[in-house]
Amino acid sequence: MDFEEAADALYAAPAADFIATRNELAKQLKADGDATGSARLKAMRKPTVAAWVTNLLARKLPDDLDDLLALGDEFREATADLDGDRLRELTPRRHQLLDKLAKAANRLAADEGQKVSADVGQKLRETLDAALVDPAAGDAVREGRLSSALRHVGFGVVDENGEPSNVTPLTDERRQAARDRRKAQQAEVDAGKAQDKRDREQEEREAEEKARAKKTFEDAVAAATSAEEKVEDLDTQLDKARDALSEAQALVHRLGSELDEARREAREAQKYSREARKAYNRL
């Protein structure tokens, strides 16, 4: 076991076992001939609860923590470019990722039997935010060997006692891998949004087609109802016309008969008039 392996094992141990684990590992390093490493390990400080929870998060969810560092890179690039629109777009993602990591850390700590108080939770969130803002702080958090929580105060990063914190950078390769993974995740989110948009547009088209079909059906029903009413009205008018025609025909027949009778009476009257004239002339 070398010093790096021993340091990782030390900060991965339960907080309550830190001192005993440090002594045992330091003794082992010395026995292996690494007196310098043993001395360095003995000088490492026991982590506060907030630092221990942060180290736990770094070990259990390194990819998610790398996402935080990559988002910090995006913030710095947008700030350097004076890109206000980009900064406004990144800010909600910053809060969402901090919330996600804080919740995950609480869950991981609970699995280890460690309760996270409100004060510890606040220090954890400040540490994560410092990791996002300051590249060196982000790399220190990612290393998983914090002995104190961190806080960004404008001029730099301080520990829980307000003292400047010495932090060292992480490799560009791991940072680029986090950035690439972030882009892939964003592309997946964008693809999902595009699919949702297509689904909504399809639903809207189907709803419009259904509405048009319904209107066409309602118009057809209204037209059929109107036509039926018109047929009934014409049937009524036809019945009335037929009744009137029947009455008119009866009247014509009666008037015809009366005309014939009047003509007959007129002929007889004329005949009687001629005979009377003749009898008068004989007198």
The residues spanned by each domain of the chain are: 1-46, 47-170
pLDDT at 189: 67
Contact between residue 189 and residue 89 where contact means Cβ atoms under 8 Å apart: no
Rounded-to-integer distance, Cα 120 and Cα 50, Å: 5
pLDDT at 210: 83
Count CA atoms closer than 13 A to 159's CA, side-chain side.
14
pLDDT at 24: 95
Per-residue pLDDT of the chain (283 residues; tens, 9 = 90+): 899 999 999 999 988 899 999 999 999 999 999 999 999 999 999 999 999 999 999 999 999 999 999 999 999 999 999 999 999 999 999 999 999 999 999 999 999 999 999 999 999 999 999 999 998 899 899 989 999 999 988 767 888 877 777 664 445 565 565 566 557 766 776 787 788 888 888 888 888 888 888 888 788 778 867 877 886 787 678 778 777 877 878 787 887 888 888 888 888 888 888 888 888 888 8
Q: How far separated are the first and last CA of the chain, in Å rounded? A: 180
**Other C-beta atoms lying within 10 Å of the C-beta of residue 67:** 20
Contact between residue 165 and residue 150 where contact means Cβ atoms under 8 Å apart: yes
Write out the two tokens for 18.
């830190």
DSSP string, the chain: --HHHHHHHHHHS-GGGHHHHHHHHHHHHHHTT-HHHHHHHHTPPPPPHHHHHHHHHHHH-HHHHHHHHHHHHHHHHHHHTT-HHHHHHHHHHHHHHHHHHHHHHHHHHHHTT----HHHHHHHHHHHHHHHH-HHHHHHHHHT--SS--EE-SSSEE-TTS-B----PPPHHHHHHHHHHHHHHHHHHHHHHHHHHHHHHHHHHHHHHHHHHHHHHHHHHHHHHHHHHHHHHHHHHHHHHHHHHHHHHHHHHHHHHHHHHHHHHHHHHHHHHHHHHHHHHH-
Phi, psi of 140 (to 5 degrees): -65, -40
